Amino acid sequence: MTRITLDIRKTVEQNAEEYFLKAKKAKKKLEGAKEALFMQKKKLELLLKEKPKEEKIEIGKERKKKWYEKFRWFISSEGFLVVGGRDATSNEIVIKKHAEKNDIVFHTDMAGSPFVVVKVPGEKKPGKDTLQEASDFTAVHSKGWKQGMTTLAVFWVDPSQVTKEAQSGEFLPKGAFMVRGKTNYLSPTMNYAICIYDGAVMGGPISAVKNVSKDFVEIDQGNEKVSSIAKIIQKRIGGDLDEIIRCLPPGSKVKK
């Protein structure tokens, strides 16, 4: 029930007129409120229709690693890629999967040495500089480096001379191969350095490293912890610590 309050000091007509004016004002306020509500709805509809602008956040893309970075590798001073096994499993892969017809395979006469492949993609053959660097690289990553040897017998052959077929009564374990035919021997020197090349950590003979980078760290034979050496190298030239560790031959130290 709606209650109406009348002013007894006024006539009926005067009270009626007052309520009429009040009703008129209330109607105007109601219409104004309805109009404001209508405008707010329209604005909301427009905001909902508009697609929010997506903020473009540039995230640094991780460098895509080359296939040979899973192995030991370097670029020779003549521009040839040289790839070597890290262990028995990677020796198998290097020879079986990556040694092609025109390539050159390096190895030593002693056990515990990597198979190293010089990749020869075209007609141009590697010269004596690349052959010597591949020989040095093979020697550094053999047990001879850790044992403090100054040199050892390293030879190179064609991939066709490397086979998994053992002689009658013999067994070849994983990572081991038979080498048949003429072998070409070189006298390696134990020299090694590490640099950053094409965004990756590269370890190789000093002549090859100097050819691709001005900033490098020379490594000598020694008995310091690999992790400690890697931290020193990282401080000098940067690079990923794990990559540096993978490049270091056991039995090393930073050359002073």
Q: How far is CA 69 from CA 2, 84, 113, 202, 242, in A?
A: 90, 10, 19, 9, 12
What pLDDT score was predicted for residue 116? 98
What pLDDT score was predicted for residue 34? 73
What pLDDT score was predicted for residue 186? 97
What pLDDT score was predicted for residue 54? 47
pLDDT per residue over 2-44, tens digit each? 566 666 676 767 666 676 667 667 667 767 777 777 777 777 7
What pLDDT score was predicted for residue 94? 96
d(CA 143, CA 109) in angstroms, rounded, equals 11
Higher pLDDT residue, 140 or 51? 140
Does the structure show a pLDDT above 60 at 1? no
Per DSSP, the three-state class of 81 is strand
d(CA 33, CA 41) in angstroms, rounded, equals 12
d(CA 119, CA 102) in angstroms, rounded, equals 8
Per DSSP, 106 falls in state E
Per DSSP, the three-state class of 244 is helix
Question: Cβ(235)–Cβ(241) under 8 Å?
Answer: no
Query: pLDDT-based confidence at 208, cuts 50/70/90?
Result: very high
What pLDDT score was predicted for residue 58? 47
pLDDT per residue over 73-99, tens digit each? 999 999 999 999 999 999 999 999 999
pLDDT per residue over 110-143, tens digit each? 888 999 999 999 999 999 999 999 999 999 999 9
What pLDDT score was predicted for residue 35? 74
Average pLDDT over residues 95-104: 96
What sign has the CA pseudo-torsion 85, 91, 97, 98? positive
Return the residue matching tokens 């009040």: 22
Residue 117 has φ and ψ, to the nearest 5°, of -120, 125
What pLDDT score was predicted for residue 165? 78
Q: What is the pTM of this model?
A: 0.75
In the structure encoding, which two tokens stand for residue 10, read together? Answer: 């006024």
Higher pLDDT residue, 234 or 20? 234
Return the residue matching tokens 């001879």: 144
What pLDDT score was predicted for residue 51? 52
d(CA 212, CA 209) in angstroms, rounded, equals 6
Higher pLDDT residue, 244 or 30? 244
Q: Give the start-to-end residue ranges of the domains of the chain.
A: 67-190, 191-256
Does the structure show a pLDDT above 60 at 191? yes
What integer best gives the mean pLDDT of the chain?
Answer: 87
